[in-house]
Structure 1
Amino acid sequence: MPNNPSRLIYRQPQPADVGRLFAIYSDPQTNLFNPAGPMASLDDAQRLLKRWLDQWTALGYGWWAVARREAPEHVIGFGGIAPLNYLTVPRINLGYRFAVEAWGQGYATELGRDALVLAFETLGLPEVFGLVRPEHAASIRVLEKIGMQPFGLLDDVPGQAPSRVMRVCHPITASA
């Protein structure tokens, strides 16, 4: 995990986080750009949390539960890096979802930078991707701020414009 003086703290999600996960993922505001819409049930939250915990067990990393340093017991979001299939192509994906109370404070950018430190400096990954809906200007700006550049398009939502695929390469790999 990053060891910089972050405003945020990151930890592996825990089964007790399921209620907070559901609260954030079922909020219509946090799903404005999610074609699937808000999470429908606590069972859905439990399935997602189980998938995250399985990734942690298998890989030793995955999405974090995120809290402010001054309130470590209050999860304000979830995010980080984890494998995700871009249709049939496996990628290391950077993602995040924050409670509305945490919006507009630079937390997504901070999490993104810290996740890239983990990806490149700790795990030695060659590249990290971000998948974003084309109309989600705020997330596109976050990905650009942390150094991601357009990589392509992914036609992942039938009947809608393709998602934008962004990518950043490991600094050493990119310059070699």
Structure 2
Amino acid sequence: MPAAASRLTYRRPQPCDVQRLFAIYGDPQTNLFNPAGPMASLEVAQRLLDHWLKQWATQGYGWWAIARVEAPDHIIGFGGIAPMDYLTERRINLGYRFAVQAWGQGYATELGRDALKLAFETLGLPEVFGLVRPDHAASIRVLEKIGMQPFGTLDDVPGKAPSLVLRVRHPTTAFA
């Protein structure tokens, strides 16, 4: 069966994306499972965007600005793979956040598959991790659907249940 045509387009974030970043990350609905809650200000969005741009400059990859192919100028989310500190350990993390209007359409799964293709086929990374709150059933399903399996937990939110850590290994090293 031939692969479905991608419905999404990805690009490196740009400084002009700060307003859209804040609109998505500042929305209480997109933060239902985020213990920190919605992004507080445009300044916080600017710091996050600056961090992403620095990752692109130093790593050559990072989170993408995501749009539908038919509307490439309208960002519906941000996500992909990037180095992230899991407390004291640096891991390649797959993550995403989509505008509420983009929910329930399979975009997170499509993004996840495309991000893993980049990680394994282009970058040759040995493994990718996903960090998810234990009550976020939809994101857990997405990570499992793209081949991630339970790896452990991370006690990263004081006073809350530990986050779940899932992992997928590069197909050629999965049995090594």
TM-score scaled by length of structure 2: 0.97
Distance 1:71 1:9 in 2: 9
Note if 1:171 corresponds to 2:174.
Answer: no
Q: Which residue is 1:30 aligned to?
A: 30
Q: Which residue is 1:99 aligned to?
A: 99
Q: Deviations over 1:48-85 (max 9, x none)?
A: 00000000000110000000000000000000000000
Task: Give aligned-pair identity as a percent.
Answer: 81
TM-score scaled by length of structure 1: 0.97
Q: Which residue is 1:73 aligned to?
A: 73
Aligned length: 173
Distance 1:123 1:174 in 2: 16
Q: Which runs of 5+ in 1 are unaligned?
A: none
Partner SS, residue 29 of structure 2 = helix
Partner SS, residue 175 of structure 1 = coil
- The one-letter code of the counterpart of 1:138 is A
Measured after TM superposition, the shift of residue 175 of structure 1 is: 3.2
Distance 1:108 1:36 in 2: 21
Residue pairs, 1:105-144, within 5 angstroms: 105-144=105-144
Q: Which residue is 2:83 aligned to?
A: 83
- The one-letter code of the counterpart of 1:76 is I
- The one-letter code of the counterpart of 1:168 is V
Partner SS, residue 81 of structure 2 = strand
Q: Which runs of 5+ in 2 are unaligned?
A: none
Q: Deviations over 1:15-73 (max 9, x none)?
A: 00000000000000000000000000000000000000000000110000000000000
Distance 1:154 1:81 in 2: 19
Which aligned runs of 4 or more in structure 1 are off by greater than 4 angstroms?
A: none
Q: Which residue is 1:14 aligned to?
A: 14
